[in-house]
Chain A
């Protein structure tokens, strides 16, 4: 029996710390009869990455207690052999965890017309924000941080286990209307948070200790316009004085080197910086919220597409930020994590030299406010489909990006300031 444990130990050393998906994973229910069997479970926990669902920790296990734990796919047969060999009574509670998890979300999705693997229009997303908060009150709450130009409420989801003095990460999507994969990602991320809380160690640790402020669509008016009028619209839909052209580029509208480079003073341009910093109701609402919560927000993540880039400050100048080394290392590891799924290659670096110099960006503004960990993601692809990323790529894009963001969140947790 001990030989088997050694074998299991060797296998777990080469295993990854985080699980990528639950495919093939099993959840076992065991009732140890005596101290010797409790010891066996102890050894199992110590040598392998066994995730205890109940009780929370193996140290709480006592004889005659019902014990549930999750085992990685590659180890399930070894664990079963071990339990059989030691005469420990067990049952397989969940035969394939991924199937169970998928089923849970399929039913809710079909009900509302919402799908995590399709592009949802704004009404569907708005309804989803209400539903997801109502269904998961202990993890998600919804608030309104402002109104768009056309009068739509800007919904914000606060995701995390409530607790005192928690720090937070701000995550926004849908700055640019035509980048549909972006709002799709924010919805996916919230789903993952709920799905894996209490079931996966990293996500549970993150949500116990941090809150995510998730703004699923910043530029709602623009997003609606891409569904009704022009799929390639980018900016907001505010009327510009003395011009027939509508809209401001929200990511040129922040007070960070505003309109000095990479932005246009022409309202007809797709990079129009606006009449003044935060001239847009949407950007003002976002900036106001961050200012009000500045003491608790420790990271700012903003999702765009396309190009497969992970950018950090600065974009308004070629000068490197004081935290360049640290941000660069984080980006390096985060892009590796991302590539681990489907080998999707991301380039990373400071915005100005990596993509182009451009002033007025929200990431630069957040950084200059004191939010050290400020990143812009440009998701798939590199131009083959561009803004028109097929729905079949929503899931893999979101899976890989989620993984990178969880890494960044965990890093932030370990480096709170």
Chain B
């Protein structure tokens, strides 16, 4: 049993929340960690450290909407290059974002020029209203980057979108090429990362290509 206030449990919770956010997110839904209720750790010899977590997640667009989640995070000991395994179950249903998804999808498809934007949020924390879905999409996609690149000694967060460029496709997917900044809290480093994100209202958010950039 682990005290939820201490960092090992909190880091594992962040990884679980990141994975959930990626798998269940979209431009109108991004789940964030509201509270870590309980945590337990099991050391599995020759395999790794497994965390059993009870979380409360909240909808970024509606703080009053929360969902309970149980998750297991297994950090592999030995080969640090393997992403942690994450399994989770959400209690109950998430409300539908069909309408908002459709509106966003239609709006982007209708743009004559490909969407380009920088510094979201800006230095003062502002996000123009029409770019909020672009922001949410990045936060959801960064959940994948965070999940895939976490260890017990890291705690990654999305700090800012430096640059985003829409890429028009011949199929029905929307494609956005992002350069994001990830904040690694233990080393306090800011890590630029490129990622290509695909989305369609029917599908989830996919990160099809990603690459860590050298510090500038």
Where the two chains meet, the residues of A that have a C-beta atom closer than 8 Å to any C-beta of B are 118-119, 180, 226-227, 231-232, 234, 249, 262, 264, 269-271, 307, 345, 347-349, 353-356, 382-393
Segment 150-168 of B: residues with Cβ below 8 Å from A: 157-160
Q: Does chain A have a CB within 8 A of B23?
A: no
B188: interface (CB < 8 Å)? yes
Q: Tell me the bound Cα distance from A378 to B90 in angstroms.
A: 30
Q: Which are the 9 A-B pairs with shortest beta-carbon distances?
A: A390-B125, A383-B157, A270-B188, A388-B125, A232-B190, A388-B121, A347-B5, A231-B123, A353-B6
Q: Hey, which chain B residues are within 8 Å of A391, CB to CB?
A: 124-126
| Given A232-B159, A232-B160, A383-B157, A349 and B124 contact (CB-CB distance below 8 Å) | no
Q: How many Å lie between the Cα of A387 and that of B7 in the bound state?
A: 20
Within 8 Å by CB of A356, from B7, B121, B125, lies B7
Contacts of B123 in A (CB 8 A): 119, 180, 226-227, 231, 388
Whether B7 pairs with A388 at a CB distance below 8 angstroms is no
Q: Does B134 contact A (CB under 8 A)?
A: no
- Taking the nearest CB of chain B, how far is it from the CB of A415, in angstroms? 25
* Given A232-B159, A234-B188: A349 and B5 interface contact (C-beta under 8 Å): yes
> Which stretch, B41-49, B76-84, B179-187, touches the partner chain A?
B179-187
Complex interface: chain B residues within 8 A of A271 (CB): 187-188
Nearest-neighbour CB distance to chain B for A67, whole angstroms, equals: 45
Select one of A119, A269, A307, A389 contacting B187, CB under 8 A: A269
With A232-B160, A232-B181, A353-B6 already in contact, the answer to whether A384 and B188 are too (CB < 8 A) is: no
Smallest Cβ-Cβ distance to A235: which chain B residue:
B188
The CA-CA distance from A331 to B12 in the complex, in Å, is 24
Could you tell me the distance in whole angstroms from the C-beta of B213 to the nearest C-beta in chain A? 14
Partner of A386, one of B5, B6, B183, B186: B183
Cα(A249)–Cα(B139), bound, Å: 28
The residue on A at minimum CB distance from B181 is A232
A387 in contact with B183 (CB, 8 Å): yes
B174 within 8 A of A: no
Chain A residues near B5 (CB, 8 Å)?
A: 347-349, 354
Of all chain A residues, the one with the shortest Cβ separation from B17 is A383
Q: How far is the CA of A356 from the CA of B7 in the complex (A)?
A: 7
Alpha-carbon distance between A260 and B198 when the two chains are bound, in angstroms:
45
Interface contact B35-A354, CB-CB below 8 Å: no
Q: B32 at interface (Cβ–Cβ under 8 A)?
A: yes
Instruction: Identify the B interface with A (CB < 8 A).
Output: 4-7, 10, 14, 32-33, 35, 60, 121-126, 139, 157-160, 181, 183, 185-190
A270 CA to B188 CA in the complex, in Å? 6
- Of chain A, the residue at the smallest CB distance from B58 is A384
Find the A residue at minimum CB distance from B215.
Answer: A268
> For residue B7, which residues in chain A have a CB less than 8 angstroms away from its CB?
353-356
Q: Is the CB of B32 within 8 A of A349?
A: no
A386 and B126 contacting across the interface, CB-CB below 8 Å: no
Q: How far apart sit A231 and B124, CA to CA, in the bound complex (Å)?
A: 10
What is the CB-to-nearest-CB distance from B9 to chain A, in angstroms, rounded to a whole number?
Answer: 11
A-B contact pairs, 26 of them (CB 8 A): A180-B123, A249-B188, A262-B186, A270-B187, A270-B189, A271-B187, A307-B185, A347-B5, A349-B5, A354-B5, A354-B6, A354-B7, A355-B7, A383-B14, A383-B32, A384-B139, A385-B121, A386-B158, A386-B183, A387-B159, A387-B183, A388-B160, A390-B126, A391-B125, A392-B125, A393-B125
A262 to B125 CA separation, bound complex (whole angstroms): 29
Least CB distance from B17 to A in Å reads 9
With a cutoff of 8 Å between Cβ atoms, the chain A residues found around residue B6 in the complex are 349, 353-354
Q: Which residue of A lies closest to B14 (CB)?
A: A383
> Are A388 and B35 touching (Cβ within 8 A)?
no
Asked if B159 and A356 make an inter-chain contact with CB atoms under 8 angstroms apart, the answer reads no
B93 to chain A, nearest CB (A): 23
Closest to A384 in B: B32
Contacts of A387 in B (CB 8 A): 159, 183
The distance from the CB of B90 to the nearest CB of chain A, in whole angstroms, is 19
- Give the nearest-CB partner of B126 in chain A: A390
B82 to chain A, nearest CB (A): 23
Instruction: Report if A119-B60 is in contact (Cβ < 8 Å); known contacts: A234-B188, A348-B5, A386-B183.
Output: no
Could you say which of B60, B122, B124 has the most chain A C-beta atoms within 10 Å of its C-beta?
Answer: B124
Determine the chain A residues whose CB is within 8 A of the CB of B183 once the complex forms. 232, 386-387
Beyond A180-B123, A347-B10, 13 additional contacts (C-beta under 8 Å) are A118-B124, A234-B188, A264-B187, A270-B189, A345-B35, A348-B5, A353-B6, A353-B7, A356-B185, A383-B32, A383-B157, A386-B183, A388-B160
In the complex the two chains form, what is the Cα distance from A264 to B14 in whole Å? 25
CA distance A356 to B35 in the complex (A): 19
A386, B187: Cβ atoms closer than 8 Å: no
Query: In the bound complex, how far is the Cα of B188 from the Cα of A190, in angstroms?
Result: 30
Q: Which residues of A contact B14 (CB under 8 A)?
A: 383
